[in-house]
Each structure stands twice: as structure tokens, then as C-alpha cells.
């Protein structure tokens, strides 16, 4: 067996995550109060408690007529019961009152007959059905009782949560501050997108991709620019990142035993420095994880695919911690592999797949890639499968769990 230089040994993904988080002060960030209407996708930092019953009063669940249920016992289309219509706030024996959905139930009434089960004749109605007491009535407190937790702290606010918070009359909510994530790219060959390329230069895209992945999670990216392959320059920018942000992500400048400029820079700027360097994963083996003054630095390889996968594996749980969220997985599809794919034993492999729905079944097609650096393998894929270290591949027909990072199309053979 060839000796692996540079990395004495590779750390497993699970160990790397565990070691990293044990050195971190990754507590949820501080709470901030914001208007409810700006809170979409923010993480709630308080339990929302119902200050009163919801609904606040017994109300009609339908359009119809409030009645005393006992007045319409045995009613049918052939034996309708006739009731007087009133517009008073109280009804008595053989009376009814017209209501629209949401209107309060008048005193004396205990049920609502739906509009389509009634014929109005001037100031009277013919009722064609019987109703049970409570029928078509939303009882006070049926939705929430005073003191109930409406939405729990740690919930990422979606439109339906916001509706419930609003229904309780709250126009402001306390949410977790957005984590600030500083992002640095390193490499002499890199130039900014939009500039003119000289020979042997390439456009730098990892800052953009990593920033957008941060935005998707509700973190705020800070740009640390592109650093040359120079330890001092990298150290200075990392230091700035640590001071200004809650976490730093870098890409490039980490390798197998070679130009480990970013790990070196991380060790330069403070303790404890690099915690893990070299992870048993594919792609992403040169990944390093550092902690400086309690703040995390995730050092990803420069290869864009490895950087994206590294974000999923290390930055996603990190940002969740900063937000006080349980690990938030991407949507998962159970799919069937449509061909075999080989993976590397002893590494956690992240196989890009394209999932589509065919005849009601989800099918995963592996996106083959000689070079893991091929960014087009990520745009051809819409998800990835995690293959554990003790497997040498996935079989044709095997059912796998796919983490989706894009939508799934229906590709029916019959259509």
C-alpha cells in the first residue's frame, strides 16, 4: 500500500463533524424583533403563545342559517321545517338568522344549516335537513386555546406559520439574527467573473456559489475577496473574517500534503487552529476544519463540486446551529438507481444523480464524472446520494435516498 503523505490519516466525515462541533461555541445567535411581514424563512426565537382563544367566539363554519338544532329534527326535502328569519343577536324557538362563514353564532342558536339546504321564502326559510347541535359551528378555542403554544421556538417561519401568528394579532416576532458568513477564495489563477481572462486563468465561482447556498439557508454572506496563494495575505483576510462574521468558509489552498496555505494561515491567526485536515470523503478529501477564538473556519477544496458538497456536509449543520435549528435536511426522494455506479471503499461518497419521476416511480440516474471538478455534473444533477464508507458502489435497481437540491420533473413514458 502506498503511504499517504500529508494527511497522516483521513478522518471519517462523522468524526470530523463531531470533533469540529466539540471545539465550537456554536450557540444560536442573539434574538432580534422584526415585523411579522418580513419574517418569511426566519427562525423563531420565542414560543408564540395564544394570548386568547382562537376563534375568539363561536362562529359559523359555513354560509347558512343559525338555528336551534331541536327545531329542525326530522327535517327533509319532503318534510321541510319552516323557521322565521330574524336579524337580532339572539334567536328564540322557531327562529333563525342568516350568517356568512366566520360570523358569530347568535345567542340561542347551537347549529348552522348550510345555505344549499334551505329555501328562503321572504322572511321565512324552509329547512330541508336536520342538524346536530354544534354542526357547522367553529367553537371558541377550537383552533387554539388561550395559553397554547401556537408556533414553537426554533421553527423556520413559512407562510402558514405566519398566518397563525397574525391570527393571534401579533405584528412583530422575535427571530434569530441572520448568521454572518465570510467567504474567501484563494488561488493565483483565479479572476473575478466579468473581467478579462489571460492565459491559464479561470473565473472564480466558489464565492458566488457558497454565498448563494448561505442565502438559501437565511445566512448573510460577507465577501472576503480572492486571495493570492500567499500565507500572509490569506491570514490577514481570515482574521478579518473572524472579526466581522460568525463563521468563515474558504475555497482552495488546501491539498494532500502540498500547498496547505489556508490551514497554515488558520493556525497562524489563533488557537486551537486546525482541528481536522483530510476527510475520508469523495469529493472533498482535502477539506480542513479549524476553530479560531471560538469561531469556525471551514476550509474547502477549490474544486467547485467538492466545495458544494463540503458546504452540505459541514456548513449546513453549522449554520443550523447558529440559527438554533435542528439539522435541516434538503427534501429527500426515495428513488431507484437505473444503473450501477462504483464508489471508493473507505470514503463517504457523494454521488450526483438526476432524479425524475417515471410512471409514478422516482428513478435516479447517476451523473458520471471522470473529473469531480466538472461543475456541469452539478447542473446536470438535481440531487446526491450518500454512499457509506463500507460500500463499493450502488447497484442497478437499488433503492436510495436522494437529497434534492433542485426540482424533480415528471418524465412519463406513456405521455
Instruction: Tell which positions 365-384 bind a copy of itself, by CB under 8 A.
Output: 370-376, 378-379, 381
What are 360's three cell numbers?
Answer: 409514478
**Measured from the CB atom, is 151 or 291 closer to a copy of itself?**
151
* Among 33, 73, 121, 329, interactor with a copy of itself by CB under 8 A: 329
Question: Shortest Cβ distance from residue 190 to a copy of itself (Å)?
Answer: 9
**Which listed residue (220, 230, 233, 406) binds a copy of itself by CB under 8 A?**
406
215: contact with a copy of itself by CB under 8 A: yes
CA angle 358, 362, 366 (to 5 degrees): 105
Q: Does 256 help bind a copy of itself (rule: CB under 8 A)? A: yes
Establish if 257 lies at the interface with a copy of itself (CB under 8 A): yes
| Cβ-contact 336, 398 below 8 angstroms | yes
Which residue of 15, 25, 102, 411 would you call a contact of a copy of itself, by CB under 8 A? 102
Residue that the C-alpha cell 445567535 belongs to:
29
The minimum distance between CB 24 and a copy of itself, in angstroms, equals: 23
Single out the segment in contact with a copy of itself by CB under 8 A; choices: 26-34, 175-183, 192-200, 315-323.
192-200
> Does 85 engage in binding with a copy of itself (CB under 8 A)?
no
Crossing angle of helices 316-323 and 13-22, rounded to 10°: 30
* Closest CB 272 distance from a copy of itself, rounded Å: 26
CB of 402 to a copy of itself, least distance (A): 11
In this structure, the dihedral spanned by the alpha carbons of residues 44, 45, 48 and 49, taken in order and rounded to 10 degrees, is 160
Helix (H, G, I), strand (E, B) or coil at 344: coil
Instruction: Please give the Cα distance from 102 to 85 (Å, whole number).
Output: 19
Query: What is the rounded distance in angstroms from the CA atom of residue 195 to the CA atom of residue 191?
Result: 7
Q: Which of 273, 323, 268, 315 shows the shortest CA–CA distance to 294?
A: 273
Print the binding letters for residues 29-68 with a copy of itself: x by CB under 8 A, - otherwise: -------xx--x-------------xxxx---x-x-----
Which stretch in 14-22, 139-147, 268-276, 340-348 sits in contact with a copy of itself by CB under 8 A? 139-147
User: How far is it, in rounded angstroms, from Cα 16 to Cα 22?
Assistant: 10
Is residue 409 close enough to count as binding a copy of itself by CB under 8 A? Answer: yes
Secondary structure class of 18 (helix, strand, coil): helix
Q: Does 236 bind a copy of itself (CB under 8 A)?
A: no
Complex with a copy of itself: residue 89 or 243, whichever CB lies closer: 89
**Count of CB atoms within 10 A of residue 378's CB?**
19
Concatenating the DSSP letter of every residue in 255-275 gives -SSS--HHHHHHHHH-SEEEE
Binding mask of the shown chain, residues 113 to 132, with x at each position contacting a copy of itself by CB under 8 A: -xxxx-x--------xx---
Helix (H) or strand (E) holding 115, with range, is none
d(CA 221, CA 210): 8
Q: Angle between the 231-244 and 261-269 helix axes, to the nearest 10 degrees? A: 50
* Interaction of residue 166 with a copy of itself, rule CB under 8 A: yes
Binders of a copy of itself among 336-365, rule CB under 8 A? 357, 362
Cα separation of 272 and 293, whole Å? 8
SS3 363: strand
Tell which one of 290, 333, 337, 367 touches a copy of itself (CB under 8 A). Answer: 333
Q: Which one of the spans 2-10, 235-243, 292-300, 316-324 is the region binding a copy of itself (CB under 8 A)?
A: 2-10
For a copy of itself, which residue of 122, 160, 390, 414 counts as binding (CB under 8 A)? 160
- CA 407 to chain CA centroid, nearest Å: 14
Site for a copy of itself in 169-188 (CB under 8 A): 169-172, 187
Helix (H) or strand (E) holding 362: strand 361-366
Contact between 143 and a copy of itself by CB under 8 A: the answer reads yes
Q: In terms of CB distance, is 25 or 132 closer to a copy of itself?
A: 132
Q: Contact letters (x/-) for a copy of itself, 276-315, by CB under 8 A?
A: ----------x--------------xxxx---x-------
Residues in the interface with a copy of itself (CB under 8 A) total 104
Q: Minimum distance between the CB of residue 45 and a copy of itself, rounded to whole angstroms?
A: 17
| CB-CB neighbours of 198 under 10 Å | 8
Query: Residue 71's closest CA among 116, 127, 123?
Result: 127
Report the nearest approach of a copy of itself to the CB of residue 110 (Å).
Answer: 15
Amino acid at each position: 500500500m502506498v503511504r499517504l503523505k500529508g494527511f497522516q490519516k483521513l478522518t471519517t466525515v462523522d468524526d470530523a463533524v463531531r470533533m469540529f462541533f466539540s471545539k465550537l461555541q456554536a450557540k444560536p445567535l442573539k434574538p432580534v424583533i422584526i415585523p411579522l411581514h418580513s419574517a418569511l424563512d426566519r427562525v423563531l426565537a420565542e414560543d408564540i403563545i395564544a394570548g386568547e382563544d382562537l376563534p375568539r367566539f363561536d362562529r359559523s363554519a359555513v354560509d347558512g342559517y343559525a338555528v336551534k338544532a331541536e327545531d329542525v329534527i326530522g327535517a327533509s326535502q319532503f318534510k321541510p321545517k319552516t323557521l322565521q328569519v330574524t336579524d337580532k343577536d339572539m334567536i328564540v324557538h322557531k327562529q333563525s338568522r342568516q350568517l356568512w362563514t366566520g360570523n358569530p353564532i347568535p345567542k340561542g342558536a347551537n347549529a348552522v344549516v348550510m345555505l344549499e339546504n334551505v329555501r328562503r321564502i321572504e322572511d321565512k326559510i324552509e329547512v330541508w335537513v336536520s342538524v346536530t347541535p354544534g354542526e357547522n359551528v367553529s367553537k371558541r378555542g377550537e383552533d387554539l386555546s388561550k395559553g397554547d403554544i401556537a408556533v414553537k421556538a426554533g421553527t423556520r417561519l413559512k407562510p402558514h406559520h405566519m398566518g397563525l401568528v397574525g391570527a393571534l394579532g401579533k405584528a412583530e416576532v422575535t427571530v434569530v439574527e441572520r448568521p454572518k458568513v465570510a467567504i474567501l477564495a484563494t488561488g493565483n489563477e483565479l479572476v473575478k467573473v466579468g473581467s478579462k481572462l489571460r492565459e491559464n486563468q479561470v473565473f472564480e465561482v466558489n464565492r458566488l456559489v457558497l454565498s448563494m447556498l448561505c442565502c438559501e439557508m437565511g445566512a448573510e454572506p460577507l465577501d472576503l475577496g480572492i486571495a493570492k496563494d500567499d500565507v500572509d495575505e490569506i491570514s490577514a483576510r481570515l482574521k478579518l473574517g473572524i472579526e466581522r462574521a460568525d463563521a468563515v468558509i474558504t475555497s482552495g489552498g488546501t491539498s494532500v500534503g502540498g500547498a496547505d496555505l489556508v490551514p497554515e494561515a488558520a493556525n497562524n491567526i489563533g488557537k486551537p487552529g486546525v482541528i481536522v485536515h483530510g476527510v475520508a470523503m469523495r469529493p472533498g478529501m482535502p477539506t480542513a476544519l479549524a476553530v479560531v477564538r471560538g469561531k469556525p473556519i471551514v476550509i474547502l477544496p477549490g474544486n467547485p463540486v467538492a466545495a458544494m458538497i463540503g458546504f452540505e456536509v459541514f456548513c449546513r449543520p453549522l449554520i443550523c446551529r447558529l440559527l438554533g435549528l435542528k439539522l435541516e435536511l434538503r427534501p429527500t426522494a426515495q428513488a431507484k438507481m437505473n444503473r450501477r455506479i462504483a464508489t471508493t471503499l473507505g470514503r463517504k461518497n457523494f454521488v450526483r444523480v438526476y432524479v425524475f419521476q417515471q410512471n409514478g416511480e422516482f428513478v435516479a440516474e447517476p451523473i458520471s464524472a471522470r473529473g469531480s471538478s466538472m461543475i456541469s455534473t452539478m447542473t446536470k444533477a438535481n440531487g446526491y446520494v450518500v454512499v457509506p464508507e463500507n460500500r463499493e458502489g450502488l447497484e442497478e435497481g437499488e433503492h436510495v435516498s436522494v437529497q434534492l437540491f433542485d426540482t424533480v420533473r415528471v418524465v412519463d413514458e406513456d405521455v
